[in-house]
Structure 1
């Protein structure tokens, strides 16, 4: 996606592709914008709109990483308002119409430098394009898969038990005695003699006892479950158009010019 000037505003925070805060936007041009100088950049920095990777939460994310930006800045390849793809001639104050145009963010001077036969050192730059893909993040959570219910029902039944009991039985017997046996304490009055007769009765009491135990055991077993989930990834299709020296691919040699055009 190529971002336009209308999508940017002065004062927006600019970050590198690895999250480093580079500064804020202080002016906007037709093809590029300026980052104010600060701790990261000792001078004003010029960035093309084509070098913007994304705009998130009101912040501008560049395609370049922090280390690459620091290297370009420390080498001083781009001068006072050097940008990610803008030539030195754009900011040296030469006063020519070409340099003035390049100061607004055009890449004309950069193309001239690459084709200039008098240039002894080849001018290269690097554009980082992130290619994303989705990966599975597997987590596990415990859920209730079932339950076991043990129901106790009270059942009443009659139990017959034979219990031996004792009782006294009365037998009356009359027997003869010696007639010469003297009677002691004879009162000759009416009298009733009571002899108790005993017997055993059965008393029934009930008490609760443990008849048996029901033991429920849970064993943990491990099994494999197949999870099918569609994953997305980005494919890179690189095309060149216009004044291109050669077809480019992702597998670039160190001597190749890494200037990639985004469509």
Structure 2
């Protein structure tokens, strides 16, 4: 449960359905005041037990806008004197005729159905009856519409390369010498003379190289798509019973439901 130290002057107050009701301008021990504005014709008194949540520096009440509209008609919700007692901001607004005895009424009105019928008597102020309608909000999100797959297969083929190689071969030739040429170091022993022959061998090595590139381009194409959805709106029928001075017509010059009057 929220307490006095959770509420500060100037904080924005909203209903449970997100409607901005006003700002806090005075804080008491068991309740705080919302400033008079477009939604409330007078300063509105709220108990800390009526706070549903505090998010982002804003107070969220546990009542909807429709329930608060009916509760704002209760004169006992307002402090009528400027004297301050130990129980709250205004003695009259917090006593037995104020919030203390209206707790059951508050819970009943908060659960009031829009289709129910209620009678407002003894009021001299203007009564604002909100008329609602639904609007379409179109949101776009990215989804996968398809895909392109590029597959690489391994193809094996035989490649023939002609490579020139060299090798040594032997030609034996016997030729005459000058007669009577002295022989140096003649040992007259058997021996074998070995002459190595060399040749080139072919060794094949493979290495990977880039042959070509395949480039995939994605272009963004904008097209128009039509969507249709049914929306609801409220229609107002004005009926007068008894002796009513003058005619009353519905005048709705603006889309703001708080500014529509009779």
TM-score (norm 2): 0.51
SS in 1 for 2:170: coil
Query: What CA distance in whole angstroms lies between the structure 1 residues aligned with 2:178 and 2:197?
Result: 30
* Count of residue correspondences: 169
Query: 1:206 maps to what in 2?
Result: 206
Query: What CA distance in whole angstroms lies between the structure 1 residues aligned with 2:239 and 2:198?
Result: 122
Deviation at 1:222, TM superposition (A): 2.7
Q: CA 1:39–1:198 in structure 2 vs 1: closer, same or farther (change >3 Å)?
A: farther
Q: Which moved more, 1:191-200 or 1:125-134?
A: 125-134
Query: 2:17 maps to what in 1?
Result: none
Spell out, residue by residue over 1:74-102, the C-alpha distance to the aligned partner (whole angstroms, 9 max, x if none).
xxxxxxxxxx6427xxxxxxxxxxxxxxx
Q: CA 1:38–1:125 in structure 2 vs 1: closer, same or farther (change >3 Å)?
A: closer
Deviation at 1:197, TM superposition (A): 1.0
Query: 2:6 maps to what in 1?
Result: none
Q: CA 1:259–1:150 in structure 2 vs 1: closer, same or farther (change >3 Å)?
A: closer
Query: What CA distance in whole angstroms lies between the structure 1 residues aligned with 2:81 and 2:173?
Result: 136
**2:59 pairs with 1:38:** no
Q: CA 1:240–1:173 in structure 2 vs 1: closer, same or farther (change >3 Å)?
A: same
Deviation at 1:129, TM superposition (A): 1.6
Deviation at 1:36, TM superposition (A): 4.1
Q: CA 1:245–1:229 in structure 2 vs 1: closer, same or farther (change >3 Å)?
A: same
Equivalent runs, 1:88-237 vs 2, <5 Å: 125-237=125-237
Query: What CA distance in whole angstroms lies between the structure 2 residues aligned with 1:153 and 1:39?
Result: 89
Spell out, residue by residue over 1:88-144, the C-alpha distance to the aligned partner (whole angstroms, 9 max, x if none).
xxxxxxxxxxxxxxxxxxxxxxxxxxxxxxxxxxxx652222111111222222222
TM-score (norm 1): 0.51
- 8 Å CA contact 2:132, 2:233 repeated in 1: yes
Query: What CA distance in whole angstroms lies between the structure 1 residues aligned with 2:217 and 2:110?
Result: 55
Which contiguous aligned blocks of 4+ residues in structure 1 show a shift greater than 6 angstroms? 39-45
